[in-house]
């Protein structure tokens, strides 16, 4: 209990950050369209590629909670899913690009499950909010948000190449309504540099170090390489 707020623990498990396991699991889902019934509230969630506790594979801890406000007993309880990636220290070795992409993918899977969507394209307008934090909320947080946002922009650019439509705001960017977002669809803009610049207008020191800035480029390049069709 935290004042009128009641937080109820539901479950905890490990989910893989290994790209090959995530992709294999996603392919199995797409072929079978299998969905697992959630015992809480009768909802459905997408199962992750789980990792045994004894395994040394990179993983994220997935925790689920129910949050209720006791001062508002007739309001619906809120379901919260927490992803904790503890293998990315504040100081020391940075996250591996492939594992950061795995973290983004696992976060996307949670968002898709909350909206009952299997779409792997850009973020939907009615998606539930995602809160990202680390110790100070700027270095690792900024790196994750930058990579997540740039990937969403690239997906929008690819989608708009096939279907002309009005550009939407990017996944994690929260710009003033008057801000010109036309740069999102331009191919002569450094999307990472521009995204970090806009984030720093909202919060000091987003993407705090040079190594984190380089990691953003490494991760996006890794993602682009994965999008290339495999040769026979």
Q: Is 165 among the domain residues?
A: yes
Q: Which two tokens stand for residue 11?
A: 């479950």
- Domain residues for 36? 5-227
| 166 against 201, higher pLDDT | 201
Highest mean pLDDT among 19-23, 139-143, 185-189: 139-143
Q: Is 74 among the domain residues?
A: yes
User: Which runs of consecutive H residues, i.e. helices, occur in 78-138?
Assistant: 97-114
Which CATH number fits the domain that encloses residue 179? 3.90.190
Q: Is 117 among the domain residues?
A: yes
Q: What is the pLDDT of residues 132-167, one digit of tens each?
A: 999 999 999 999 999 999 999 998 888 877 665 444
Q: Is 232 among the domain residues?
A: no
Confidence of residue 173 (pLDDT cuts 50, 70, 90): very low
Could you give the angle at the alpha carbon of 226 between the alpha carbons of 193 and 154, nearest 5°? 40
Q: What is the pLDDT of residues 63-107, one digit of tens each?
A: 999 999 999 999 999 999 999 998 888 776 778 999 999 999 999
Q: Which of 29-33, 118-122, 212-216 has the lowest mean pLDDT?
A: 29-33
Write down the pTM of the prediction: 0.77
CA-based nearest residue to 186, from 201, 167, 200? 167
The dihedral of CA 49, 170, 213, 221: what is its sign? positive
Q: How many domains does the chain have?
A: 1
Q: Is 60 among the domain residues?
A: yes
Q: Is 50 exceeded by the pLDDT of residue 170?
A: no
Active-site residue set:
134
Q: Is 186 among the domain residues?
A: yes
CA dihedral 76, 81, 212, 87 (to 10 degrees): 150
Distance, C-alpha 219 to centroid of its chain: 13
What is the residue-averaged pLDDT of the chain? 79
């Amino acid at each position: 209990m935290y004042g009128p707020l009641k937080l109820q623990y539901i479950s905890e498990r490990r989910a893989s950050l290994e790209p090959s396991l995530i992709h294999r699991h996603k392919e199995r889902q797409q072929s079978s369209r299998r969905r697992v019934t959630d015992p809480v509230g009768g909802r459905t969630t997408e199962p992750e590629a789980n990792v045994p506790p004894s395994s040394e594979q990179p993983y994220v801890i997935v925790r689920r909670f129910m949050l209720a406000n006791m001062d508002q007993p007739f309001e619906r309880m809120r379901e919260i899913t927490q992803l904790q990636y503890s293998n990315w220290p504040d100081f020391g070795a940075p996250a591996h690009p492939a594992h950061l992409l795995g973290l983004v993918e696992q976060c996307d899977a949670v968002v898709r499950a909350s909206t009952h969507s299997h779409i792997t394209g850009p973020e939907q307008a009615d998606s539930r909010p995602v809160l990202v934090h680390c110790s100070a909320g700027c270095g690792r947080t900024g790196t994750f948000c930058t990579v997540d946002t740039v990937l969403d922009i690239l997906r929008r650019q690819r989608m708009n190449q096939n279907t002309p439509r009005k550009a939407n705001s990017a996944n994690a960017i929260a710009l003033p309504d008057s801000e010109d977002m036309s740069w999102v669809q331009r191919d002569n803009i450094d999307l990472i540099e521009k995204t970090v610049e806009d984030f720093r207008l909202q919060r000091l020191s987003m993407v705090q170090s040079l190594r984190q800035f380089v990691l953003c480029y490494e991760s996006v390049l890794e993602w682009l390489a994965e999008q290339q069709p495999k040769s026979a």
